[in-house]
Chain A
Amino acid sequence: METRKETKTRNKWILSALIAILVLAIAGCGSDKANNSSNTGSTNSGSNAAETNAPETVVKFASDAIYAPMEYMDKDTIKGFDIDFIAAVMEEAGMKYEVVNTGWDTMLQSVQQGTEYQAGLSAVSITDERKQTYDFSVPYFESTNMIMVKEGSDIKSALDLKDKTVAVQTATTADELMSKIMGVGNTKLKRFDSNAVAMMELDNGGADAVVADIAIIREYIKNNPKMKLVGIKDTPNFGSEYYGILFPKGSELKAKLDPAIQKVIENGKYEEIYKKWFGEAPDLTNLKNAK
């Protein structure tokens, strides 16, 4: 049996230990960033020394490959429009690269740090909020959000969704748009880890509609004809948005990749890849004008 006094001192110890851990955790994040520039410098030169005389390093892209057809895992290889696109861009830029499926959270954090991964490639829409923390490449893909409902639903536009139950994937622009329409704290807006789960919620009657990128919805409707689903486009409320490659703030890579991206879009390579994944030629007018 321990006395009350002993318990008290022990508690004090535990409390101060905990505070110390939290402080260290926060400070740790800080020092990471401080080390960034020097780290990248040393690893670069280190790997170069062993290779040929070409001053070349492998650019590592992080990705969250659960977003077919943009990027997804086919067994253990990463595939998708973005993957083919970046292959063309990196060939144009003459750089070695690698795309790794890290998951969304790890991608965000590691691209922000910029040490292990120098860029993020994951159908990331360019938004002003995100620009506060990251740099983006020039836009490389035009997209818009689409509403998916079951046949016979009375939902016709985004504004009809206001007091319905809507399922989205967390952190997508669909989440952002619906948060604005329905309110961030509205629990009738259900956010899921992936669109696959959001669509299952619709299928099981837990949601009236799913909002997601047009490519995702079309792919899903095409793959599940038995479910009798309809996609609704709402251009006035869901405008065009553009995907960009995610860079850490102040990245030097942006200056190298931007011209290569533009080249790929202009020389017809882009159209080829687009047709392969979407079965139709892209309308590039908006994309070329978007900045």
Chain B
Amino acid sequence: MDFNFDIIWGYLPLFLRGTLYTIGFSIASIVLGSILGLGIGFGRMLKNPLWRWPFDVYVNIFRGTPLYVQILIVHFGLVPLFYGSTNALISGVVALSLNSAAYAAEIFRAGIQSVDSGQREAALSLGMTRRQSMRFVVLPQAIKRMVPAFGNEFIVLVKDSSLLALVAAPEIMYWGNTMKGQYMRIWEPYLTAAVIYFILTYSLNKLLAYIERRM
């Protein structure tokens, strides 16, 4: 097959611009998703089933339905409700954040619950408050255990952001689709997109490995 590099060069500036959007979507969503997820994760650990219920529902819904559909609902339902009209940038960040919050919540919950309960009991018996035992004894150990799972979630998120092309968010895959449309060719746009995603996730991998080693 003739692999036409010329058309890739022509689209490279757009792909690079799309890369910036992909990075922006990913970072904004992992940050917002983690904050939201932390709250939901703690909510999932509440003793009272009635209080815990909404958090369980949240996690089940967002983990149990396709991100594809979530993006459409956020873009055509949620965002117009608050913003007045559709906006791909807002819906992109909102949809990815809400989705990753569900996964982050589970990572937090699992991380915290994996710390042996004896640790907390020891801290309490030393006279620490519950808050102090969480802050100084449980969390430092839990966070260390969460890092690999979090890295995994971040990498998945970077690739999931490609689904935002669905609502014309100008990220990498969107420009791939545009290029495909102009030249009616498949491999040039998709393999270029794949290489860019790989560079992004591979760098992220390196960064995460570095952090893991440092902890």
Residue ranges of A at the interface with B (Cβ–Cβ < 8 Å): 7, 18, 22, 25-26, 29-30, 32-33, 105, 108-109, 112, 129-130, 133-134, 167, 170-172, 175-176, 179, 184-185, 187, 190-193, 197, 200-201, 204-206
Question: A241 to chain B: closest CB distance in Å?
Answer: 15
Q: A32-B1, A205-B86 are in contact. List 7 more A-B contacts (CB 8 A).
A: A26-B3, A105-B186, A129-B182, A170-B181, A171-B182, A190-B168, A191-B168
Residues in A with CB closer than 8 Å to B177 are 170-171, 191, 193
A109 touches B168 (CB 8 A): no
The answer to whether B86 touches A204, judged by C-beta atoms less than 8 angstroms apart, is yes
- Chain A nearest CB: distance from B1 CB in Å? 4
- Within the complex, the shortest CB–CB distance from B107 to chain A, in Å, comes to 24
Residues of the B chain whose Cβ atoms lie less than 8 Å from the Cβ of A105 = 180, 186
Contact B85 A197 (CB under 8 A): no
Which of these, B1, B88, B182, B209, contacts A190 with CB under 8 Å?
A: B88
CB-CB under 8 A from B46, the residues of chain A are none
Complex: A192 Cα to B173 Cα, angstroms: 12
* Smallest Cβ-Cβ distance to A207: which chain B residue: B86
B185 in the interface (beta carbon within 8 A): yes
Distance in angstroms between the alpha carbons of A83 and B87 in the assembled complex: 37
List the interface of chain B (C-beta within 8 A of A). Answer: 1, 3, 13-14, 17, 72, 76, 80, 84-88, 166-168, 170, 174, 177-178, 180-187, 191, 195, 198, 209
Assess the A29–B1 pair: CB atoms within 8 A: yes
Contact B85 A171 (CB under 8 A): no
Cβ–Cβ < 8 Å partners of B167 in chain A: 192, 197, 201
In the complex, what's the smallest C-beta–C-beta distance from B76 to chain A, in angstroms?
A: 5
A206-B87 contact in complex given A133-B185, A170-B178, A184-B182, C-beta closer than 8 Å: yes
From residue A39, how far is it (CB to closest CB) to chain B in Å? 15
In the complex, chain A residues whose CB is within 8 Å of the CB of B84: 205
**How far is it, in angstroms, between the C-alpha of A218 and the C-alpha of B25 when the chains are bound?**
37
A230 to chain B, nearest CB (A): 19
Residues of A within 8 A of B72 (CB): 197
Instruction: Assess the A129–B184 pair: CB atoms within 8 A.
Output: yes
Nearest A residue to B181, CB-CB: A171
Most B CB atoms within 10 A — which of A30, A32, A108, A185?
Answer: A185
User: Are the CB atoms of A170 and B184 closer together than 8 Å?
Assistant: no
- A191 vs chain B, min Cβ distance (A): 6
B210 to chain A, nearest CB (A): 10
A134 neighbours in B (Cβ, 8 Å) = 184
Q: Please, which residue of chain B has its CB at the minimum distance from the CB of A25?
A: B191
Q: List residues of chain A with CB within 8 A of the CB of B13.
A: 185
A177 to B87, CA, bound (A): 24
Judging by beta carbons under 8 Å apart, are B14 and A185 in contact? yes
B137 to chain A, nearest CB (A): 24
Are B80 and A179 touching (Cβ within 8 A)? no
Cβ of A192: which chain B residues have Cβ within 8 Å of it? 166-168
Which of these, B1, B80, B86, B180, contacts A33 with CB under 8 Å? B1
* Smallest CB gap from B178: residue in A: A191
Of the A-B pairs whose beta carbons lie under 8 Å apart in the complex, a sample of 6, sorted by A's number, is: A112-B185, A171-B181, A179-B182, A187-B170, A191-B181, A205-B85
Q: Are B186 and A22 in contact (CB under 8 A)?
A: no
Cβ-defined contact, B181 with A172, below 8 A:
yes
Give the complex CA separation of A30 and B88 in angstroms. Answer: 38
Min CB distance A171 to B, Å, is 3
Q: Which residues of A contact B166 (CB under 8 A)?
A: 192-193, 197
Residues from chain A with a CB closer than 8 A to the CB of B168 are: 167, 190-192, 201
B178 partner residues in chain A, CB cutoff 8 A: 170, 175, 179, 184, 191
Complex interface: chain B residues within 8 A of A172 (CB): 181
Residue of A26, A197, A206 with highest tally of chain B CB at under 10 A? A206
Q: Nearest-CB distance from B117 to chain A (Å)?
A: 28
